[in-house]
Structure 1
Amino acid sequence: MASSDSELAPVLDKDGVSLTIDEAVATVTLTNPAKRNAQSPALWRALTEAGRLLPGSVRVVVLRGEGKSFSAGLDRQAFTPEGFDGEPSFIDMARGEDGFLDATIAEYQEAFTWWRRADIVSIATVQGHAIGAGFQLALACDLRIAADDVQFAMRETSLGLVPDLTGTHPLVGLVGYARALEICATGRFVHADEAERVGLANLVVPADQLDAAAKDLAAALVAAPRDALIETKALLQGVADRTYEEQRVAERAAQGRRLRDLAGLGD
């Protein structure tokens, strides 16, 4: 990254979300540290908008949270009868028809889906609390760098709910079914040493080195040829849906495209 984020004019700055772009690296920051970056439907819409605003030149997206916590989860106002101003409360959602309930949750999920796009690699830098929706937002990214004070927890089941913001699929993929079930069912904290050991965190660093570690990783990712990285990411993402033989075929097809491109014979 050529410039510090503080020197860059934000492309987006609304509802607790800021987006800055520095050449091939974009940074999405949760900007409400006074509330430990608690989440709301307005914040989710801003995150969705950030994804739509990324120019084609962006190759890496770094997600970070200001203050002591990455995100302490859903804003407690969501659990009041009134909910958020201008938004359907949980009670309204429960009373609505199935189509309304499904469409509302689907809209919220959009904030968590674009981080795994084939044309970018996303990195969550996670410090302090990453609880519930905060945990799921970190899981939405391709990679995670954790501070040594991190505390992951999935509290939805303890509240009589389920993790519904796309977190269950990557969690099982990272730690396996049995451990994912235990983490969700108990709602316990997963600290830095365990997170690194079981694969939730790619790297653990002291909290004051979190941004620097993200910049180093982003620079390494940008250094790789873009089309080769896109093909590699697609191969790895598709493993779960392919047999061993199908993966061999996919590898051959991807390598054929790369060889033709390098030889100047691509489309």
Structure 2
Amino acid sequence: MEDIRFDGQVAIVTGAGGGLGREYALGLAARGAKVVVNDLGGSVDGTGGSSIAAEAVVAEIRAAGGEAMVNGASVTDDAGVAGMVDQTMAAWGRIDVLIANAGILRDSSLTKMSIADFTSVLDVHLMGTVKPVKAVWDIMRAQNYGRIVFATSGSGLYGNFGQANYGAAKLAVIGLMNTLKIEGAKNDVRVNAIAPVAATRMTEGLATPEIMARIAPGFVTPGVLYLASRDAPTGSILSAGAGVMSLARIYETEGVYFGETPPSVEKVREQWDAISDGEGQQAYSNVDGQSGKFFRRAGILC
């Protein structure tokens, strides 16, 4: 089989000044893509700003013979995002890949977390995904090609103490993906998500240097580049880290049919084990699968 290449393609990577985003940008450029290295250059909590890190990534790409340019817009700023897309189209005339990687952390238990800190994290991770996607969506549809990769997290999929804001945002992008995979199908716009386990600024100090080396960002990048390639699936959540890759799915059990009248609360309690039974559970590709099961179990003909 041929190597996966991105020759002639243009990619935007947000949050690409360091960590995972830097690895994605370098990986795309090494395989032929022209890359927009977007990074506000703020601290882990989103404060401040500098283009130094993004410029270093661009310089690295150019030194290796690739093409890249810097963009310092915040992914939460409408005008900045529009300007980034305009800059890309003016320079290279198309956008084939968007990796929505930018993010911040403001960790705290919910008791101690301010609404401002909750909102700030949602703005960057959720709206900072929505806004770039919205800005490139019609371009990708018009060219009948596009690959979009969202950044999700085990904290959103499964939960993590002190990250109610981050977890809420990271699961929200899965809901976005699940709809856009349907809306983009006609025009070959495929949307997937990566759930990385990696050593970055966000995870610094959480483990020993030996463990951090085992979860270097380079173990995640091949999976992301596959999700950004022509051969990509759509609607997949790829978990990756430490040399392991797996697929995360949302399953629904077959459940219990209670009859043509609503059950009592006590009946629900009595049947809870049966409702929870995993035998026959399925991962649905869209909401019709779920509603179709309800109609089937209830004997409703549509």
TM-score (norm 2): 0.28
Say which one has the larger Rg: 2
Give the helix-richer structure, 1 or 2: 1
TM-score computed with the length of structure 1 as normaliser: 0.30
